[in-house]
Copies of this chain bind each other. A is one copy, B any other.
Amino acid sequence: MKFTVKQIATLLGGEVAGNDTLAITGLAKIEEGRPGDISFLSNLKYEPHLYTTQASAVIVDRSFEPKKPVDSALIFVDNSYSAFTRLLEEYHKQLLFARVGVEQPSYLGEGTEIGEQNYRGAFSYIGRNCRIGHNVKIYPHSYVGNNVQIGDNTIIHPGVRILDNSIIGKNCVIHPNAVIGSEGFGFAPQSDGTYKTIPQLGNVILEDFVNVGSNTTIDCATMGSTIIRQGVKLDNLIQVGHNVEIGKNTVVAAQTGISGSTKIGENCVIAGQVGFAGHLTIANGTKVGAQSGVGKSVDKEGTSINSSPAFGLKESMRSLAVFRRLPTLEQRLTDLEKKNEK
């Protein structure tokens, strides 16, 4: 980021008091602000920091009147908190899409079409017959196999592996070292104890606005597609098995594993380190507690489940409370038995 205080004020529809020619190069909390930073004051609990901060500029509410002299430039806006948030988002977007052009060496297969405003980092590899949209950022060391489609405004971070025939939507973000479309775990036991590989010939489809965390793995379908619907957010180190489907706007926290052919509904919230057995159907709006082990389908929308194996959240909380008292419970039973023997 490199803007003057004046440019930022114009962007936010605010007025400046102080030096509006200062260059702003970063954002910071008011107590951590350094020269070149812009910060904000919304909660007046933090007002004392305003008189000591080294930030070059501070965004404040229009209604605010400083009680002491302020070194920083002040930008007066309707709502300082939302103005700062907006600035964060603008800055973030700018950072994400800053890179343009092709670094060398990079590899491009035959028959691949690429849109405009793209970035292809050094040592990136794009196979044959791919269709890559506009404003796509493919960072260094990324691998895109053959016959892959990637929609506009999608960011492929360093070291991502997208295997053959994958379809990635628009406005997706794939974080470093994620693997999309690797072969699932399909082996048929043979009579001599060995296993024969079941060919995995399907693909992975990521719809628009999907986020995939670092080192997360999404296996291709045996046949057909493993499908991650629009707006799904996957955290780091998640395993998604072959032929899984995850419904719109479902969020899944880190280190969760979803076994093959399980269908998870829309708007679910899955906490971290959860495990799903295969071939389940999980209703829309299901909430699953951390480290749960889901062994059965969930039919009713909006159900909250917990524990391993998972059952109703409230019931599980009650059982877990008694679990802690088990030694006492056992003792009470023994006492009662003795009493009854007499």
Do B237 and A239 have beta carbons less than 8 Å apart? yes
| A68 contacts partner chain B, Cβ-Cβ < 8 Å | no
Given A217-B237, A291-B291, A319-B324, list of 15 further CB < 8 A pairs? Answer: A92-B199, A92-B200, A107-B140, A141-B143, A141-B159, A159-B177, A182-B213, A193-B231, A217-B254, A237-B239, A259-B272, A275-B290, A319-B323, A322-B326, A332-B337
Whether A275 contacts B249 by the Cβ 8 Å rule is: no
Assembled-state Cα–Cα distance A155/B165 (Å): 19
Contacts of A176 in B (CB 8 A): 143, 161, 163, 179, 182
A residues at B contact (CB < 8 Å): 27-29, 32, 88-89, 91-92, 95, 103, 105, 107, 121-123, 125, 139-141, 143, 157-159, 161, 163-164, 173, 175-177, 179, 182-183, 185, 187, 193-195, 197, 199-201, 209, 211, 213-215, 217, 219, 223-224, 231, 233, 235-237, 239, 241, 248-249, 251, 253-255, 257, 259, 266-267, 272-273, 275, 277, 290-291, 293, 295, 308-309, 311, 315, 318-327, 329-330, 332-333, 336-337, 339-340
CB contacts (< 8 Å) of A337 on chain B: these are: 332, 336
Residues of B within 8 A of A248 (CB): 193
| Residues of chain B within 8 A of A122, CB atoms compared | 105, 107, 125
Residues of B within 8 A of A321 (CB): 327
